[in-house]
Structure 1
Amino acid sequence: MTKTALITGATSGLGYDFVQLFAKDGYNLVLVARNSQRLQEIKKSLPKIEVTVIAKDLSVPGAAKEVFEETERKGIAIDVLVNNAGFGLMGKFDELDIQKQMNMISLNIAALTELTHYALSGMKLRESGRILNVASTAAFQPGPLMAVYYASKAFVLSFSEALSEELAGSRVTVTALCPGATSTNFGAVANVEGTKMFSRAMASDDVAKKGYAALMKGKRVIVTGGLNKAGAIGAKFMPRSMAAKVAKYVAGEK
């Protein structure tokens, strides 16, 4: 029986790369993003599988529930959930637009949590399923100049690890993907492309392949890239105040 993967933020970057990986392996897809036209274009490019597109802004309260209600109406069981949608903003907390930061929390944390809840219920009933939550190396330390974004990814990592332990021994797995700087449109949206942290950005397709492989193996956490792994390990042993200073430094211009 063909399985179905639901992917958020599916129209570009890592989300689009995940679309290609799942399609290659014959999964049917439910693609969620704001850009309806782009979703339709992607659907037309994947004629050999069943593709359902749902145009939703997941930062809007209630949107996540509406997504799952639509899958239920269509009789679609979600075997794999990829919570990829998210964004960041660069700048001092008090100087950034507060509504944009609240939207970030809604998307990066609330929507991810809600989608996971709805998907997990069905997976546990069927005794099978996989969830991939896209976190970040930002999850391992405080992030001055990107305070809300770093904090949101710390939530994603902690939440994912906790669920993974709750599900230990079952056939449902939760994986947290923690990439460092990645060549997607994230950098442009967050206004961080000219910073030190993006001087060695990884190719998004490479990050997606590593995340996909880790998901299929049921790994709890995957940090992509040797330098990123070293940084994540170093952050665990470094005083939090020093880790914050390092994060602030790499957020500076090249």
Structure 2
Amino acid sequence: MTRTALITGASSGLGAEFARQLAARGMDIVLVGRDRDALEDAAARVRESGARAEVLAADLLAPRQRERVVARVADAQHPVDMLVNNAGFGLPLAFERNDVEDEARHLALHVEVPMRLMRAALPGMLARGRGRIVNVASVAGLVPRGTYGAAKGWLVSVSRWANVEYGPRGVSVTAVCPGFVHTNFHERLGLPPGQEGVPERMWLNAPDVVREGLRDVARGRSVSIPSARYKLLVAASRLLPDALVVQAAKRGR
């Protein structure tokens, strides 16, 4: 039986790659994002694999628009078997100079929105005895790194708890925690390619991140850190003083 995945932030980057790989595995896709034209382009690529693609254009920070997405996730007549919370954006690390309203929107998109969508998805998934929730977090959520890391840290923590709580009832919850990935994320921060201050060896490719992440999702893991180099960095950070870790984590945006 064909299953359905709903992906937020699906028009580009990791969201579009999740859509591509899940469609190739035979899932139908619901693509959520603000830019309808970009979503339609992504949906056309999904349909090339023979999967069905549904476009749901919505600004997840606008309550009425967000409620349409919540309702779609909770729709028992058209169940969502996998929820991928991927929508997000970054801010400069200088918290003291950032606009506080930008920080509030940043917190809402990375914490409140996934929380609401998880809450909408869980009752139906638990009733059916199956389901997957994927929270796209970041290695930044595992080390002290500004408010972005703090918000992603919430996703990591709730995923670890929820996977233990709901896994025995057939619903896995996995936080996928990549490092720096070649997408348009940094360009949206105003950084041209090559000016992020991060060595090339630390960059990952979106197809690899999603492939490794989905492998860990299938294994029912709470946390997925794609690539051995970032696994090693996270392990090392746990042994070092915060001052050293914070200083090292300042590289890149």
Per the normalisation by structure 1, the TM-score is 0.91
The 5 A counterparts of 1:90-169 are 90-143=92-145, 147-169=146-168
Deviations 1:40-78 (A, max 9, x none): 222233152222111011123354332132455693101
2:233 alignment partner in structure 1: 231
The 5 A counterparts of 1:37-116 are 37-45=37-45, 46=47, 48-70=50-72, 75-116=77-118
d(CA) in 1 for partners of 2:208 and 2:122? 27
d(CA) in 1 for partners of 2:74 and 2:240? 47
d(CA) in 2 for partners of 1:54 and 1:12? 14
Gap runs ≥5 in structure 2: none
d(CA) in 2 for partners of 1:168 and 1:35? 34
* 1:185 partner SS: coil
Q: In structure 1, what residue type is equivalent to 2:151?
A: S
Deviations 1:194-222 (A, max 9, x none): 23336431111111111111112211111
2:35 alignment partner in structure 1: 35
Native 8 Å contact 1:90 1:191 kept in 2: no
Q: In structure 2, what residue type is equivalent to 1:213?
A: R
Q: Which runs of 4+ in 1 moved over 4 A?
A: 71-74
d(CA) in 1 for partners of 2:122 and 2:199? 34
Structure 1 pair 92/70, CA: closer, same or farther in 2 (3 Å)? same
d(CA) in 1 for partners of 2:96 and 2:10? 31
Native 8 Å contact 2:167 2:220 kept in 1: no
Q: Does structure 1 residue 246 correspond to structure 2 residue 248?
A: yes
Structure 1 pair 251/44, CA: closer, same or farther in 2 (3 Å)? closer
Shift of 1:80: 0.5
Deviations 1:122-161 (A, max 9, x none): 1001010011101110011211xxx211111111111111
Native 8 Å contact 1:176 1:220 kept in 2: yes
Sequence identity percentage: 32
Native 8 Å contact 2:71 2:120 kept in 1: no
Structure 1 pair 74/129, CA: closer, same or farther in 2 (3 Å)? closer
RMSD: 1.9
d(CA) in 2 for partners of 1:174 and 1:68? 18
1:23 alignment partner in structure 2: 23
2:198 alignment partner in structure 1: 197
d(CA) in 1 for partners of 2:64 and 2:118? 14
1:2 alignment partner in structure 2: 2
Native 8 Å contact 2:74 2:80 kept in 1: no
d(CA) in 2 for partners of 1:201 and 1:39? 26
d(CA) in 2 for partners of 1:123 and 1:230? 34
Native 8 Å contact 2:10 2:42 kept in 1: no
d(CA) in 2 for partners of 1:63 and 1:159? 25
